[in-house]
Amino acid sequence: MQSFESKLSLFISIDLVGSTSFKYAYSKRSLGKEQPWLEFFDNFYKVVPFLLRKNIGEKATCYPTIWKTAGDEILFHCDITDKNQPKEIILALYKTINEYHDQLAERNLPLKIKATSWIAGFPVINAEITIDEEGDVKRDYIGPSIDVGFRLSKFSDPRNLIISIELAYILSDTLTSKEEKKLGGIFLENEEILKGAFKGLAYPILTIKIQDTFEKSRLKVLKKEKLSLGDIEDFCLEYIAQVNDPYTIVIPYIKRQNFADYNDIPDDHDKIIKSIQEKEKGDYEKKKIPKTISDSGKESVEFSEKIHLKIKRGGIRKKKKTKS
């Protein structure tokens, strides 16, 4: 079943780098004991979400929760209700990556993590569905923005936190100079054609550099300079306009948002959302049990449903009047 609620969501992928060789290096197993590497992975699935939540802070209004895991990858999801929430999450994610790298180094483990984050709007471009597996209801997310997010994750590495165009646009609008300095700025790594997407227009690989001492020296040698927030905002708007397809990418909007610049819903989206709401309202009215039956409570409702079922099957007939 699909959810038709209009909303904007943020997704995060955090993946281990070097995990395969790590498992092989610690593959010898003693009798009666678990695999030597299992304890570390159990720790990974607990510590990373803990650090992310801690770094977001207790006063935050949005906490990414685990959507699902895929091997050595943890996927997070969070519904955005305020334009400042994405920057709070990304600042926390940046700090989490650095802290976890420090923990790995302290234990002399040959591992790192890499991360990607993107924005997806629902229900026009993407869809949220629920899957009921014998009473175990799970949520899943599908659509063009989700596909792009997973494809962008292929370009991330321990030095590059990759972000989507829509997320870069929101960050360019909301980051203060002090907050931008904490992140070290946003860089354009290169451009890649994502086969089948955006009419063949090359997609910008925008990155936030995880700047340890080595990476800072590397950026100086390569003469890599961060982009200005104003240039990022202009470029994102121009890219979206160039694609010119409201069913694959639009300027992010948050329904019922108080900030005027985030409440500008494209006409195509507004029409679709209204038509969906009308359909839902119509479907609800069709399913309603007549008021005279349902007024007396739950038992009558259940009883009335049985009557309807019997009538449908021909199980109830009107009694003929007997002559006196």
At 265, list the tokens. Answer: 């819903």
Confidence (pLDDT) at 203: 98
Confidence (pLDDT) at 315: 47
Distance CA 312, CA 320 (A): 20
Domains belonging to the chain, first-starting first, are: 2-265 (3.30.70.1230), 267-317 (no CATH)
Distance CA 205, CA 209 (A): 12
Closest to 115 in 3D by CA, of 76, 67, 168, 82 = 76
Confidence (pLDDT) at 324: 43
User: Over the stretch 40-85, which tens digit does the pLDDT of each residue have?
Assistant: 999 999 999 999 999 999 988 899 999 999 989 999 999 999 999 9
Confidence (pLDDT) at 33: 67
Confidence (pLDDT) at 212: 85
Distance CA 38, CA 16 (A): 14
Distance CA 6, CA 99 (A): 35
Q: Count how many residues are written for the chain.
A: 324
List, in sequence order, every residue forming a beta bridge with 160; answer none if it has no partner. 157, 209
pTM: 0.83
Q: Which 8-state DSSP code applies to residue 157?
A: B
CA distances to 124, 144, 197 from 201, rounded to whole Å, are: 22, 15, 8
Pairing of β 65-70 and β 127-133: unpaired
**CB proximity list for 99: less than 8 A, separation 6 or greater:** 51, 55
Distance CA 153, CA 141 (A): 16
pLDDT along the chain (324 residues), means of 10: 79 96 82 78 95 95 94 96 96 98 94 97 94 86 98 97 98 97 96 96 97 87 93 98 96 74 85 80 60 47 44 45 46
Closest to 126 in 3D by CA, of 7, 215, 288 = 7
